[in-house]
Amino acid sequence: MRQDSDLVAWEQLCREVIGCRACPRLVRWREAVACQPRRAFAQETYWARPLPGFGDLEAQILLCGLAPAAHGGNRTGRMFTGDRSGDFLYRCLYQAGLASQPFSKSRDDGLQLRGCYITAIVRCAPPGNRPSPQEMDQCLAYLVRELALLKKVRLIVALGQFAWNGVLRALQQLNFHVRPRPRFRHGSEVALGPYILLGSYHPSQQNTFTGKLTETMLISIFRRAQELIKS
């Protein structure tokens, strides 16, 4: 994203995302959660809006998650910030040299991503972490635009099956597709046009607390991503 026009278009996209109210169920939920903060966050004002992408606009590696967490990103206003999944993720990004610090607490904590950009399929926190197919369809247009603007991205890490399927659909809309549709598994690699899609288990507590995804495993995914963009 070297051209000023691209930066202007990205900033415009962020403004559109933040102001979006296209999914009535998710708008109600994100705002209702903000009215009932967890005790630990009772003194905070929740973001309670959609989340734009975050990171290095010259990135070659893009990470894509499912959607913000109700008391994480929906509270802090930044992807994977303020919840256990994010704590795990940023420790691993830091270990792989992709983040300037091993934590992400708030939008003004000084964190910088290095060669890496983080986004999600759905930008509003969904009830039960489950957006509907219609909500996913509605929100996917933002990812398509983001991918078109982030011209240096070559490697996409899909965090979980939902993100994997969403990224495949976004790439299809950009006319990059493969048949049959590749199946998600941890460590899957698929070449699609100029991109390589790399699958990883999502750093949810369900996966990290059970040992299905360890920090070593996720750091290995990031190291593999770094290898692939050099080859």
> Nearest distance from residue 132's CB to ligand SF4, in Å?
10
Q: In sequence order, what are the residues at sequence separation of 6 or more whose Cβ sits closer than 8 angstroms to the Cβ of residue 3?
A: none
Give residues 43-102 in contact with ligand SF4 (rule: CB under 6 A).
50
Of the ranges 2-10, 23-31, 71-79, 220-228, which one interacts with ligand SF4 (CB under 6 A)? 23-31
Of the ranges 40-48, 80-88, 116-124, 179-187, which one interacts with ligand SF4 (CB under 6 A)? 116-124
Give residues 125-154 in contact with ligand SF4 (rule: CB under 6 A).
135, 138-139
> Nearest distance from residue 3's CB to ligand SF4, in Å?
26
CB 214 within 8 A of CB 193: no
CA distance 101 to 94: 6
For ligand SF4, which residue of 62, 63, 120, 122 counts as binding (CB under 6 A)? 122
Measured from the CB atom, the residue of 7 and 22 that comes closer to ligand SF4 is: 22
Q: Does position 23 bind ligand SF4 by CB under 6 A?
A: yes
**β 61-65/155-159 pair status:** parallel
For ligand SF4, which residue of 7, 8, 22, 191 counts as binding (CB under 6 A)? 22
Measured from the CB atom, the residue of 55 and 73 that comes closer to ligand SF4 is: 73
Count of positions on this chain that bind ligand SF4 (CB under 6 A): 14
Measured from the CB atom, the residue of 20 and 155 that comes closer to ligand SF4 is: 20
Name the site residues for ligand SF4 (rule: CB under 6 A): 17, 20-23, 26-27, 50, 122-124, 135, 138-139
